Chain A
């Protein structure tokens, strides 16, 4: 299959203007924040406004960014309710400090990472990715983060580790949605180890140059741009390396509808609706959905021996 796509980096987008301005803003406010820190102000309370120091990353799309208001106001995050406006309404109750990410399972160096240590583990990059929801809509989002592989190589997976499982926080005092048995809580997702190590797979801590808003999966989440959005687990507390393919929350909720791979694929429909087209948020006409969400050149080779219709 021939997919026409722009080169990885377009000159015009090496540094998106928002981020560029954001970085200047960061320089200006850094001093102020340092002062606030010394006065004992909790980092968590200021997290929403924290500008992140980032550098441009690869894989731009050359497409118009989805407005911040839509990226942060139209979300699927069932822990805060099933309506797409619910997360923005209810996620204020999520406490993102202190936050610990546990990394364990089949690794040589398991460990617990404090969120602030995690932020400094590797240089933060701006990564502009397409995001295609399984429901048939899409966005273009300027994430901030670094390749998940930066973390993976530090914990040294054992030879027996074949898959990676992600677990989202499950706390009914902070997440009103988990009081209802809509899904098997906690939310879990999984990737094959090579998928998790792929340079596109991001450990994200921000968007639009700032710390992640709670409704987008603060303080730390996964972004896998060639898979449907639900594969990108939000607000994660655990990464576990395992031998057997994990069963994700959506797989156990509806195995016929949501497979382990869930690669964006216009030729394999959801049993109840077509995946051939998508509505880019902010656009009137639907556009054709691209194989692997347009990232075929980078990822198709991982699936050359896989029947994508069977392993949907």
Chain B
């Protein structure tokens, strides 16, 4: 792909990633988010955090399956958008939902498992966002950087659990996210085992 076309593609993706936020903010202002707009906004931001996280995790398998290496160059932006939406999701909870009732928020974090895992996932995202620049990769060294960024697998599991444990009864939606995550992590595991097993593991 030519550098110019790639730049256009990346810019388009950037705008697309802002779409969900724009639509939620519009819904809030136009009062189309239903009877409980604060809940709809917080959940919408959470949904998009999870979706962007899974899209980010899909980059590596897609690249491997399709051979389109330029996909990798979109991954950092997708990861940073995941962090951006996670931060907005948390802000919406702290500000609109709890209105800075720090005592209640702290109680939620230590007492409610779904909030404990969600908050943990957010804390674990911070070092990843902070070390996303080229300079930080250089400073840490490729091996350490990669080891650090593998925590994203745990973060994704926490994020799905956060959703799963929040749902009252109908777990269809979180189960879909869990299945997609299982596929994305399963492919990695499969490839890793194949690499290790080499020729021995594959009978004629």
- Which A residues are closer than 8 A to B by beta carbons? 69-70, 73-74, 78, 82, 84-85, 135, 137, 180, 182-183, 253-254, 269, 272-274, 276-277, 279, 281-282, 284-286
Stretch at the interface among B10-18, B30-38, B70-78, B141-149: B30-38
B112 to chain A, nearest CB (A): 6
Q: How many pairs of residues, A versus B, come closer than 8 Å at their CB atoms?
A: 53
B86 to chain A, nearest CB (A): 20
CB–CB A82/B169 < 8 A: yes
Q: Chain A: interface secondary structure?
A: loop
CB–CB A274/B108 < 8 A: yes
B19 at interface, CB cutoff 8 A: no
CB–CB B35/A273 < 8 A: no
B26 at interface, CB cutoff 8 A: no
A258 to chain B, nearest CB (A): 10
Cβ–Cβ < 8 Å partners of B165 in chain A: 272
B189 to chain A, nearest CB (A): 31
Closest to A281 in B: B35
B163 to chain A, nearest CB (A): 13
CB–CB B104/A274 < 8 A: yes
Closest to A75 in B: B35
**Beyond the given A182-B169, A274-B112, could you list 7 further A-B residue pairs with CB under 8 A, ordered by the A residue number?**
A73-B34, A74-B34, A82-B170, A182-B170, A269-B111, A272-B113, A284-B96
CB–CB A73/B169 < 8 A: no
Contact with A284, one of B38, B108, B172 (Cβ below 8 angstroms) = B38
Cβ–Cβ < 8 Å partners of B172 in chain A: 82
B88 to chain A, nearest CB (A): 18
- Which B residues are closer than 8 A to A by beta carbons? 34-36, 38-39, 96-99, 104, 107-108, 111-114, 165-166, 168-170, 172
Cβ–Cβ < 8 Å partners of A180 in chain B: 170
Cβ–Cβ < 8 Å partners of B36 in chain A: 74, 84, 137, 279, 281
B161 to chain A, nearest CB (A): 12
Give the residue among B39, B98, B165, B169 with the most A Cβ atoms within 10 A: B169
CA distance A267 to B130 in the complex (A): 41
Cβ–Cβ < 8 Å partners of A272 in chain B: 112-114, 165-166
CB–CB B104/A277 < 8 A: yes
8 residue pairs, one from A and one from B, having the closest CB atoms: A74-B35, A82-B170, A70-B35, A281-B35, A182-B170, A182-B169, A285-B99, A272-B112
8 residue pairs bridging A and B, Cβ less than 8 Å apart: A84-B35, A85-B34, A182-B169, A272-B113, A276-B104, A277-B104, A284-B38, A286-B99
Cβ–Cβ < 8 Å partners of A69 in chain B: 35
Give the residue among B104, B113, B170, B172 with the most A Cβ atoms within 10 A: B170
Cβ–Cβ < 8 Å partners of A137 in chain B: 36, 39
Closest to A66 in B: B35
Cβ–Cβ < 8 Å partners of A85 in chain B: 34
CA distance A82 to B38 in the complex (A): 19
CA distance A272 to B118 in the complex (A): 13
Cβ–Cβ < 8 Å partners of A254 in chain B: 169
Closest to A249 in B: B169
